[in-house]
Amino acid sequence: MPASKLARMVDGSVLLGTWKLKSCVVTTAAGRRLTPYGQNPTGYLSYSADGRMHAIGAASGRIVPAAPTPPDHERVALHDTMFAYAGTYSVEAGKVIHHVDISWNEAWTGTDQIRLFELNGNTLTLTTHATDPASDTAAHYALVWEKVTSHR
C-alpha cells in the first residue's frame, strides 16, 4: 500500500463510517442565521477506509411531486432542497478535503471542497466559508452529523 494512502487512512480513521445529518446552519456576513434545509434535515455522509466518500442531504418537508415526471417548478424545488456529491477524501490537521468526482451541482465536479472538522464524542461538525447563493455574499456553513451505530 502506498505510504500516502496509509497516512490518509491513519489520519482520517476518526472519520471512518457513516454519519447522519442533524443540522445545517448558515450564518451570513451580516450575522443572519439561516437553516436552508429546515429544522430537521435528513442525510448521510460516509467515509470509507479505501479513501472514498459520499454525501447526500435533503430539507425537511420537501414537496412530493404530483406525477412521476414533475413539472419544472416542482423539479426546481426538489433540486433546491437537496445536495449530493461523492469522490475521494484526504485529511490534514483539523480539515478534510472532499475531492469531488460527481455532484448534483456540476459546478462542484472536479473541485476540492475543504471542510474544517471537529469531533465531540459521536458528533462531527463540518464547517466552511463559501458564497451564499441567495445573497452573493460570504457566509459560514456549519453541518452537524451524528455517528450511525450498527444495531446487530
Residue with cell 412530493: 64
- Tell me what the mean pLDDT of segment 137-147 comes to: 94
d(CA 25, CA 80): 16
d(CA 145, CA 152): 22
Span 7-30, pLDDT tens digits: 433 457 899 999 999 999 999 988
User: What is the average pLDDT value for the chain, to the nearest integer?
Assistant: 89
Q: Domain spans of the chain? A: 3-146
Span 123-138, pLDDT tens digits: 999 999 987 666 677 8
pLDDT of residue 11: 57
User: Amino acid letter at 35?
Assistant: T
pLDDT of residue 34: 92
pLDDT of residue 131: 77
Span 53-112, pLDDT tens digits: 999 999 999 999 989 999 999 999 999 999 999 999 999 989 999 999 999 999 999 999
pLDDT of residue 99: 98
User: Residue 121 corresponds to which cell in the numbers above?
Assistant: 464524542
pLDDT higher than 70, residue 1: no
pLDDT higher than 50, residue 2: no
- Can you spell out the DSSP letters for the chain? --HHHHHHHHHTGGG-EEEEEEEEEEEETT--EE-TT-SS-EEEEEE-TTSEEEEEEE-TT----SSSS--HHHHHHHHHTEEEEEEEEEEETTEEEEEEEEESSTTTTT-EEEEEEEEETTEEEEEEEEEETTTTEEEEEEEEEEEPPP--
Overall CATH class of domain 3-146: mainly beta
This prediction has a pTM of 0.85
d(CA 115, CA 97): 6
d(CA 139, CA 18): 27
With beta carbons less than 8 A apart as the criterion, state whether 101 and 88 touch: yes
